[in-house]
Structure 1
Amino acid sequence: MSTNTEKLEAAFVTALDIDASAVTDDLAYNSIEQWDSTAHMILIAELEDQFDVMLDTDDIIDMSSVGKAKEILGKYELSF
């Protein structure tokens, strides 16, 4: 069974088509070419699938980095 950190990393790798080594807390929206608005929505769908949650609009808008994603998912009783 995957840890939450592994699931989070997998969601970013799949949605953004990047190498797992690029998934760090500092990775931010629009900091790389792959993380644009379209990829952001794919990422949200991946995260919702991986963690079986439904993110609210404010959380989707606020998700500006990997670190922020962990913080937001923490509100859904997930720990990293």
Structure 2
Amino acid sequence: MKKSLVQLFADALAIAPELVSDDLTYQSIPQWDSVAHMTLIAGLEDEYEIMLDTDDIIDMSSVAKARQILAKYGVEA
């Protein structure tokens, strides 16, 4: 069974899943820095078996935006 988007964010950012919402944005919490962002990207690519474009990686600035970007790859998150 695939991990949920919320769980992938929680794992990558080392935070409780309850803290993950669509309103969570890049660098809004200290845990979401550039290193954690790349960990998140790797987790998304591995879990959903996709390869994100560089523009999408840079544009992924919130949980809500991640859902939009993943939809372009046929991932319903």
Q: Give the TM-score category using the shorter length.
A: over 0.9
**Counterparts of 1:50 and 1:25 in 2: how far apart (Å)?**
19
The DSSP-based 3-state class of the residue aligned with 1:68 is helix
| 1:7/1:50 contact within 8 Å kept | no
For residues 49-60 of structure 1, the aligned pairs below 5 Å read: 49-60=46-57
In the alignment of these two chains, the number of paired residues is 77
What are structure 2's unaligned runs of at least 5 residues? none
**Counterparts of 1:34 and 1:18 in 2: how far apart (Å)?**
8
The offset of 1:48, in angstroms, is 0.6
What is the Cα-based RMSD across aligned positions, in Å? 1.1
Partner residue in 1 for 2:34 = 37
Kindly report structure 1 stretches of 4+ aligned residues shifted beyond 3 Å: none
**Counterparts of 1:77 and 1:43 in 2: how far apart (Å)?**
18
TM-score, normalised to structure 2, is: 0.94
Partner residue in 1 for 2:6 = 9
Partner residue in 2 for 1:76 = 73
The offset of 1:23, in angstroms, is 0.8
Amino acid at match of 2:51: M
What are structure 1's unaligned runs of at least 5 residues? none
**Counterparts of 2:65 and 2:46 in 1: how far apart (Å)?**
18
Amino acid at match of 1:51: Y
Amino acid at match of 1:72: I
